[in-house]
């Protein structure tokens, strides 16, 4: 998680919003796999907000799809990674 945090700091410093969103999404994946579903949802929403701000709608759709998957009752109960979960 430390390297993701460093990446997030660097992408913020250089103004790389897509990089920030990608890092937030990967952080969400990591914490979600560790069972921190609420935190994963918050990180995905931060990624979505960043992508919406720069009108990167294709990437935004991917992040929101994952956010919806994390919010499914079965995912919340098991902490398992949502099906089709990926970022590109």
Where do the domains of the chain lie?
A: 2-78
Q: Give the pLDDT confidence of 7-48 residue by residue, as tens digits.
A: 999 999 999 999 999 999 889 889 888 888 889 889 988 988
Q: Give the pLDDT confidence of 37-76 residue by residue, as tens digits.
A: 889 889 988 988 998 888 888 888 888 887 777 777 665 5
Contact 8, 37 (CB under 8 A): no
What is d(CA 88, CA 76) in angstroms, rounded to the nearest whole number? Answer: 24
The pLDDT-based confidence of 87 (bands split at 50, 70, 90) is very low
Q: What would the DSSP string read from start to end of 4-31?
A: HHHHHHHHHHHT-HHHHHHHHHHHHHHH
Full-model pTM = 0.72
Residues whose CB falls within 8 Å of the CB of residue 42, separated by 6 or more in sequence, listed in order: none
Chain mean pLDDT for the chain: 81
* Tokens at 65, concatenated: 């799809």
Contact 2, 14 (CB under 8 A): no
């Amino acid at each position: 998680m430390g390297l993701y945090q460093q990446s997030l700091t660097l992408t913020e410093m250089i103004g790389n919003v897509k990089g920030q969103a990608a890092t937030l999404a990967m952080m969400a994946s990591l914490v979600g796999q560790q069972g921190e579903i609420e935190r994963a949802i918050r990180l995905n929403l931060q990624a979505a907000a960043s992508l919406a701000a720069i009108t990167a709608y294709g990437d935004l759709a991917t992040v929101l799809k994952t956010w919806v998957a994390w919010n499914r009752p079965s995912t919340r109960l098991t902490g398992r990674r949502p099906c089709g979960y990926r970022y590109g």
